[in-house]
Amino acid sequence: MTESRTAIVTGAARGIGAATAQRLAADGHAVAVLDLDAAACAGTVEAITAAGGRAIAVGADVSDEASVAAAFETVVSELGAPTILVNNAGIIRDNLLFKMSTADWDAVMGVHLRGAFLMTKAAQKHMTEAGFGRIVNLSSTSALGNRGQANYSAAKAGIQGFTKTLAIELGRFGITANAIAPGFIQTDMTAATAERVGVPFDDFIAFSAKEIPVQRVGQPEDIAHTVSFLTSEGAGFVSGQVIYVAGGPKD
């Protein structure tokens, strides 16, 4: 039996975050659907409540300390202390290194690394008090290096080191921390990449699928399924891992 807990999923207005929020709600948890604009979370919240689950929309910028503090106040008062955290919010600001602006470097570090740090620091207080916690951070196959993504690949590699350190420091409190490194997942983020390189999204998907051992691109639900496992009661001995969910081996 799954115990009902309070979960926060960042970047949950759409894409992988939205599918993950819906999956965790279906698993029986109350879910804070967090994204930059609370109004943009309405679709995810409605899908959860229509399916009989419990969710609230929370507008917050994960890279802003005051915004994160306010978000936690809302979650604690409306849903209870969060003991599941999925750091999923992300942005891309791709460019070849010689053209990459300092602002684009900082923006990517801000959302992925600073954001994960601020959210996790706020969450660990509730998790240590509860003697239970599940942290899942979104890395990427780009952590292994990807042309045009010096900022993003550095951030996603950083997420892996961050995750392993969380596992070491927080394990004694009943808290696990793991990272998921997705390959190509069909979302607005990969649609934006297709647009940047000037290829219709359908062609981009078909071309990418040929290169993937299972011969298809990933869907947000593929990642949500892995989050569901890592946040489950039974996964308490799985910690500090990076799971590549990419339709084939990537590491």
Ligand X SMILES: NC(=O)c1ccc[n+]([C@@H]2O[C@H](COP(=O)([O-])OP(=O)(O)OC[C@H]3O[C@@H](n4cnc5c(N)ncnc54)[C@H](O)[C@@H]3O)[C@@H](O)[C@H]2O)c1
Binding test (CB under 6 A) with ligand X, winner from 7, 8, 9, 16: 16
Active site residue 244: no
> Is 11 a binder of ligand X (CB under 6 A)?
yes
Q: How far is the CB of 201 from ligand X (least distance, A)?
A: 12
Q: How far is the CB of 127 from ligand X (least distance, A)?
A: 20
> Is 190 a binder of ligand X (CB under 6 A)?
yes
**Interaction residues for ligand X, span 24-63 (CB under 6 A):** 35-36, 61-63
Q: How far is the CB of 13 from ligand X (least distance, A)?
A: 4
Backbone angles phi, psi at 55, to 5 degrees: -155, 155
Binding-residue total with ligand X (CB under 6 A): 27
Q: Of 117, 152, 162, 184, which is the active-site residue?
A: 152
Q: How far is the CB of 63 from ligand X (least distance, A)?
A: 5
> Is 225 a binder of ligand X (CB under 6 A)?
no
Q: How far is the CB of 174 from ligand X (least distance, A)?
A: 26
Binding test (CB under 6 A) with ligand X, winner from 143, 150, 185, 230: 185
DSSP per position, the chain? -PPP-EEEEETTTSHHHHHHHHHHHHTT-EEEEEES-GGGGHHHHHHHHHTT-EEEEEE--TT-HHHHHHHHHHHHHHH--EEEEEE-------B-GGG--HHHHHHHHIIIIIHHHHHHHHHHHHHHHHT-EEEEEE--GGGG--TTBHHHHHHHHHHHHHHHHHHHHHGGGTEEEEEEEE--B-SHHHHHHHHHHT--HHHHHHHHHHHSTTSS-B-HHHHHHHHHHHTSGGGTT--S-EEEESSS---
**Interaction residues for ligand X, span 92-151 (CB under 6 A):** 111, 115, 138, 140
> Is 15 a binder of ligand X (CB under 6 A)?
yes
Residues at the interface with ligand X (CB under 6 A): 10-11, 13-17, 35-36, 61-63, 88-91, 111, 115, 138, 140, 182, 184-185, 187-190
Active site residues: 152
